[in-house]
């Protein structure tokens, strides 16, 4: 008799357990409500370093003459970097190019060798912008005939990039919160976050008006001016929406 009484209760417990499990499964399978937003950040900083490319090119009838002229100029340029106390590890003078110089002769329908062109580039990583003007001006006096624009940079690049990323994430969260409030819900935790990366806006130092007859190095240095660098970042994010 006791066995007959217990059986219905066991059946009820089993059914109740199955229904509870089904409810949990249904709740787990319910899709999250998400809001997708983007965010952007920008950090400004003064540049404190520069990358300068100085080139020497000589065109002469013989290879030996062209190479000797280029090497002599490069030696004067390297002496200048030592004079400006630029560490040798920040000076690279290994890029060398040699090519023959031909002219097409119509009468013989063939190329005529005129000589050789030898070129060499010296890359300088400058960590003292106060010496930039002197480096550019005196390098020309040393015989450099190809001066590229100085690309400005910051020694705090990584720190500034991360600061821009942090601003971008904060901006995305604020945008998501504004949308959640407008929809009458609350903002939940972030579900996904991605970035397109950070990038500094390239800066090349523009030469200001230079007084050619300025006898002092101070006047040369003051003729070069730089503005602030900008590091920008953007992110895409998804946040969960909570509430009704």
Choose between 29 and 175: higher pLDDT. 175
Work out the mean pLDDT of the chain and round it to a whole number.
82
pLDDT at 128 over 50: yes
Q: Which class in CATH covers the domain with range 49-153?
A: alpha beta
pLDDT band at 214 (very low <50, low <70, confident <90, very high): very low
pLDDT of residue 13: 39
* Conformational region of residue 143, where left means phi above 0, alpha means psi within -120 to 50, and beta covers everything else: left
The predicted-structure confidence for 156-201, as pLDDT tens digits, reads as follows: 999 999 999 999 999 999 999 999 999 999 999 999 999 976 666 6
CATH 3.30.110.170 fits 28-47+156-244, yes or no: yes
In the chain, what are the domain boundaries?
28-47+156-244, 49-153
- Whether 28-47+156-244 and 49-153 share one fold: the answer is no
CA dihedral 17, 19, 23, 24 (to 10 degrees): 20
Q: Quote the DSSP letter at residue 204.
A: B
């Amino acid at each position: 008799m006791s066995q007959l009484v217990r059986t219905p209760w066991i059946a009820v417990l089993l059914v109740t357990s199955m229904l509870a499990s089904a409810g949990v499964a249904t709740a787990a399978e319910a899709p999250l409500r998400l809001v997708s937003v983007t965010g952007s950040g920008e950090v400004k900083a003064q540049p404190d370093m520069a990358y300068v490319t100085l080139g020497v090119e000589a065109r002469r009838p013989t290879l030996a003459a062209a190479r000797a002229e280029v090497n002599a100029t490069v030696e004067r340029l390297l002496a200048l970097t030592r004079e400006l106390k630029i560490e040798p590890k920040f000076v690279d003078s290994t890029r060398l190019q040699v090519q023959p110089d031909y002219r097409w002769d119509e009468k013989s329908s063939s190329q005529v060798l005129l000589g050789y062109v030898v070129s060499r580039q010296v890359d300088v990583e400058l960590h003292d912008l106060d010496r930039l003007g002197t480096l550019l001006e005196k390098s020309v006096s040393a015989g450099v005939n190809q001066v590229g624009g100085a690309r400005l940079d910051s020694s705090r690049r990584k720190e500034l990039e991360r600061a821009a990323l942090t601003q971008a994430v904060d901006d995305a969260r604020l945008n998501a919160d504004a949308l959640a409030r407008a929809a009458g819900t609350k903002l939940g935790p972030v579900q996904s976050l991605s970035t397109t990366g950070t990038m500094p806006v390239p800066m090349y130092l523009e030469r200001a008006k230079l007084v050619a007859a300025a006898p002092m190095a101070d006047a040369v240095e003051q003729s070069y001016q730089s503005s602030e660098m900008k590091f920008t970042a953007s992110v895409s994010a998804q946040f969960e929406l909570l509430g009704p």
